[in-house]
Amino acid sequence: MFLVLGFFLYELLFVTSFFLLRLTVSGQAPMRTPTPNSITMNNNTPFYSSNSFKRNRFSSKSDFFDSLPDDLLISILSKLASSASSPSDFIKALITCKRFNNLGRHSLVLSKASQRTLAISAKNWSESAHRFLKQCVDAGNVEACYILGMIRFYCLQNRGSGASLMAKAAISCHAPALYSLSVIQFNGSGGSKNDKDLRAGVALCARAAFLGHIDALRELGHCLQDGYGVCQNIMEGRRFLVQANARELAAVLSSSTTAASRSWVTCNPHAHHRTAVGSSSECPLLSDFGCNVPAPEAHPASRFMAEWFALRGGAPGPGLRLCSHVGCGRPETRRHEFRRCSVCGIVNYCSRACQALDWKLQHKAECAPLEMWPENDGDGGEADGDGEILNENDEEDVIGES
């Protein structure tokens, strides 16, 4: 029995010596289990208590966030991109951690970015903002195609690339892109007067109107009334103008609560004409029917252009003008491209739709006839707007339906 016990102790000593020898060769000191009172700081105070020692045992475990699958995080970020109220809300989420930053640039996330997420301010425009919009375009985001196309065409004066991006959005049945391309065709923007294509403008405008674009409905109604680029049909034109007003009212009612709608839309069948229209936040788009609705919210591309040129003195270039409708922001690409009011000769518009909106929003209260138009920079009555003049007197009989 003593012989067996001695042999066992000899084997235990041999194994222990072999283990210590391996640690010595590998350069590591033998480990021993610390006790709560064995580790102290330099001031001889305990470094941790027994409870903190137990917590440290689990500190080496991985975070639960790291175990979440990428597909789940991409789905969450896609929902955020489609519902964010501003670009900063989306960017703040991306800079939370490195993993969010990497997954937030996934093509599926960028393709879901909404209009508000892409509403970059002109004062914050930079190369990184341009790159962000370009990444959204590459991801197949149609809204980004339109916004970046408008910025390149009108602000950066890259006509070919801007028109190409807008055409890409139009192919995907993006109504604002179709309407913007129709305005370019009507005015011959980016080219000369001979580059106007009225039939192409009417065709693009009709397609946008079919998709429910309100400004396109108004423009098409005026084209039919005036026989501009299409055979004249006054009754059909009036029908489109009334339909545009009805859609505008329906959009306001559907985008607000019942209480808010009741406070926004007021009815006064005896008030066909209102004074101090410009001082009110409401736009009497249905004034003939005694209803007021708020002015429509401008598209982020229009807000960007208006702010872009406001930061640069309010003029797109020497002798060039901006559309007088505050919600538009389109500039002239050549002198006398836009048509102006035939009564006062002061305001000018890129389209009849912008004229109709601005007339009811503010110009009706400001317009006054002049015996002689100002001839600044050769703005003669015959040459202005490439020889085309908007007649407010002709507009007066249908202004309630525009």
The reported pLDDT for the residue numbered 245 is 86
The reported pLDDT for the residue numbered 374 is 53
Report residue 158's pLDDT band, with 50, 70 and 90 as the boundaries.
very high
> Is there a contact between 254 and 212 (Cβ–Cβ < 8 Å)?
no
Structure tokens at 203: 């065709």
Q: Which of 299, 298, 348 lies closest to 322, judged by CA?
A: 348
**Cα distances (Å, whole numbers) of residue 41 to 51, 271, 402:** 17, 85, 82
The reported pLDDT for the residue numbered 313 is 86
Measured CA to CA, the distance from residue 299 to residue 302 in angstroms comes to 5
- For the chain, give the percent of residues with pLDDT over 90: 48
Q: 339-341 and 348-349 as β-strands: parallel, antiparallel, unpaired?
A: antiparallel
More confident residue, 402 or 240: 240
More confident residue, 165 or 1: 165
Question: What are residue 339's DSSP bridge partners?
Answer: 349
Q: In what order do the strands lie in the sheet with 348-349?
A: 348-349, 339-341, 389-390
Q: What residues have CB less than 8 Å from 93, skipping those under 6 apart?
A: 77, 80, 100, 104
Per residue in 209-250, pLDDT tens? 999 999 999 999 999 999 999 999 999 999 999 999 888 888
- In angstroms, how far is CA 234 from the centroid of its own chain? 36
Question: Exposed, middle or buried: residue 223 (CB in 10 Å: 0-12, 13-18, 19+)?
Answer: buried
Q: What residues have CB less than 8 Å from 20, skipping those under 6 apart?
A: 30
Stretch 109-135: mean pLDDT: 94
**Cα distances (Å, whole numbers) of residue 394 to 134, 205, 274, 343, 391:** 44, 22, 20, 11, 5
The pLDDT of residue 94 is above 60 = yes
Amino acid letter, 114: S
The reported pLDDT for the residue numbered 397 is 32
Report residue 282's pLDDT band, with 50, 70 and 90 as the boundaries.
very low
Angle at 122 between CA 177 and CA 125, to 5 degrees: 100
| CA dihedral for 362, 366, 371, 374, sign (positive or negative) | negative
Report residue 318's pLDDT band, with 50, 70 and 90 as the boundaries.
confident
Question: What are residue 291's DSSP bridge partners?
Answer: 267, 286
Q: Give this prediction's pTM.
A: 0.73
The pLDDT of residue 311 is above 70 = yes
The pLDDT of residue 3 is above 60 = no
**What DSSP letter does each residue of 269-282 carry, written as one string?**
TT--S-S-GGGSSE
Measured CA to CA, the distance from residue 310 to residue 290 in angstroms comes to 35
Per residue in 361-398, pLDDT tens? 888 888 877 665 555 443 333 334 443 445 443 433 33
Q: Which residue has the tokens 């009110």?
A: 280
Stretch 252-276: mean pLDDT: 50
Question: Exposed, middle or buried: residue 91 (CB in 10 Å: 0-12, 13-18, 19+)?
Answer: middle
